[in-house]
């Protein structure tokens, strides 16, 4: 019974991750919403189900991630007082890491729940997208970008991109009926329209490249792959011509084609200057914001996960983080050799998105996706994900 309750809590949690409500968990400590309750419920149920299992606390990934947290804290202490109000220990990151470890352990035990969680997540993305496109109170255009419920359009498009990849993977790996094909087409169209209207060039690039990877890696004959790729190209061209007639969107994408990075390149340059001055242990997260303010005259994130970790924790912390990413990559490649490309493509997709998104280190979507990628040796049989390493099915 606890197992079924845990699965139900997981699906609700995934749904709220898609809707964005889960961000309240780490964004506002004074607001107690449904996301708080679901997240806490899932963790409690998981621990009750495996009360004697302490391996999640002493695993390789837990040691690496908590070492990174310690390095960031030491870097902050070494830097000294900062003008930016932030604690020595990043509690938001601790929460994200704990979620990752619990989810990762849960998915390794019940790998079929990965499919359940991604299905709930993708459903939430489609529902949010439909709401944004059909109801003015949910989504509205502002300066050439679709704003959904007042949220940063980059955050919205990032979730849409992950949902798009999963739905497309299901289509390419399965044999959908006509009804399923129609539903899939509508879902993918809704997500793509929201991504393009959001003006997020990074998310669009991540979706396009991920779609090509999925098509090439899908278990289909070569001529079928060619047809799928041609249909993708035709759909993109049609969608582009239709949407670029909307005021504001055309100008934004025209600027992107001319090399406009929305100010990110300047921020990256300033951040790398800070790194050169403090290469080994970095300046800590508080030190980063203090230093970037002296160069940019504003407190602003690096909008690049890798640069942010490099500047905040130096070469030592960046090496630790690279070890963690290498471990994830090896696990995804192991699944790829089994014929399951979803993990590999999801990892590529979320890391590409994180390379242009502010606050990615404590973005729960990142750790939600990485927890699925962390499970080694997945293989999909008739739409159900299983693992060779799973002890319970």
**What's the confidence (pLDDT) of residue 31?**
42
Whole-angstrom distance, CA of residue 94 vs CA of residue 166? 27
Range 290-311 average pLDDT: 85
Residues 128-155 have pLDDT tens digits of 999 888 887 787 877 778 888 778 888 8
**What's the confidence (pLDDT) of residue 381?**
46
Instruction: Decide if 125 contacts 159 (C-beta within 8 A).
Output: yes
Question: Which is higher by pLDDT, 392 or 90?
Answer: 90
**What's the confidence (pLDDT) of residue 59?**
81
Instruction: Decide if 284 contacts 76 (C-beta within 8 A).
Output: yes
Question: Which is higher by pLDDT, 60 or 241?
Answer: 60
Model confidence band, residue 347 (pLDDT cutoffs 50, 70, 90):
very high
User: 24 pLDDT exceeds 50?
Assistant: no
Residues 161-204 have pLDDT tens digits of 999 999 988 888 777 778 888 898 899 989 988 888 887 878 88
Model confidence band, residue 223 (pLDDT cutoffs 50, 70, 90):
low
**What's the confidence (pLDDT) of residue 232?**
72
**What's the confidence (pLDDT) of residue 323?**
96
Whole-angstrom distance, CA of residue 321 vs CA of residue 56? 18
Helix (H, G, I), strand (E, B) or coil at 80: coil
**What's the confidence (pLDDT) of residue 105?**
86
Supply 228's token pair: 């799928």
Whole-angstrom distance, CA of residue 74 vs CA of residue 316? 11
**If you average pLDDT over every residue of the chain, what do you get?**
79
Residues 104-122 have pLDDT tens digits of 888 888 888 898 999 999 9
Whole-angstrom distance, CA of residue 70 vs CA of residue 76? 10
């Amino acid at each position: 019974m606890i197992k079924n309750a845990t699965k139900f809590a997981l699906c609700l949690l995934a749904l709220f991750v898609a809707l964005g409500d889960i961000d309240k968990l780490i964004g506002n400590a004074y607001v107690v919403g449904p996301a708080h309750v679901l997240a806490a419920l899932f963790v409690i149920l998981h621990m009750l189900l495996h009360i004697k299992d302490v391996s999640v606390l002493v695993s390789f990934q837990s040691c690496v991630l908590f070492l990174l947290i310690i390095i960031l804290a030491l870097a902050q202490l070494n830097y000294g007082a900062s003008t930016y109000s932030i604690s020595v220990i990043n509690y938001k990151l601790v929460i994200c890491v704990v979620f990752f470890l619990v989810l990762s352990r849960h998915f390794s035990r019940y790998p079929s729940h990965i499919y359940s969680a991604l299905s709930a997540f993708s459903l939430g993305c489609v529902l949010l997208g439909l709401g944004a496109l059909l109801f003015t109170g949910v989504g509205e255009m502002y300066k050439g970008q679709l704003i959904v419920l007042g949220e940063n359009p980059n955050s919205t498009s990032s979730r849409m991109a992950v949902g798009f990849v999963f739905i497309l993977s299901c289509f390419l790996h399965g044999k959908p009926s006509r009804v399923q094909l129609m539903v899939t087409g509508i879902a993918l169209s809704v997500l793509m329209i929201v991504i393009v209207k959001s003006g997020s060039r990074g998310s669009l690039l991540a979706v396009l490249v991920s779609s090509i990877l999925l098509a090439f890696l899908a278990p289909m004959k070569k001529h079928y792959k060619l047809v799928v790729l041609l249909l993708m190209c035709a759909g993109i061209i049609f969608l582009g011509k239709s949407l670029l007639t909307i005021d504001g969107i055309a100008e934004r994408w025209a600027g992107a084609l001319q090399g406009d990075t929305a100010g990110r390149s300047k921020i990256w340059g300033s951040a790398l200057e800070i790194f050169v001055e403090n290469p080994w242990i970095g300046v800590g997260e508080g030190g980063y914001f203090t230093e970037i303010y002296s160069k940019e005259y504003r407190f602003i994130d690096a909008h690049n996960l890798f640069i942010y970790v490099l500047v905040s924790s130096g070469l030592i912390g960046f090496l630790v983080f690279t070890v963690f990413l290498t471990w994830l990559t090896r696990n995804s490649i192991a699944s790829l050799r089994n014929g399951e490309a979803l993990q590999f493509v999801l990892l590529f997709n979320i890391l590409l998105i994180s390379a242009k998104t502010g606050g990615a280190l404590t973005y729960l979507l990142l750790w939600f996706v990485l927890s699925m990628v962390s499970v080694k040796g997945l293989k999909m049989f008739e739409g159900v994900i299983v693992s060779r390493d799973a002890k319970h099915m």
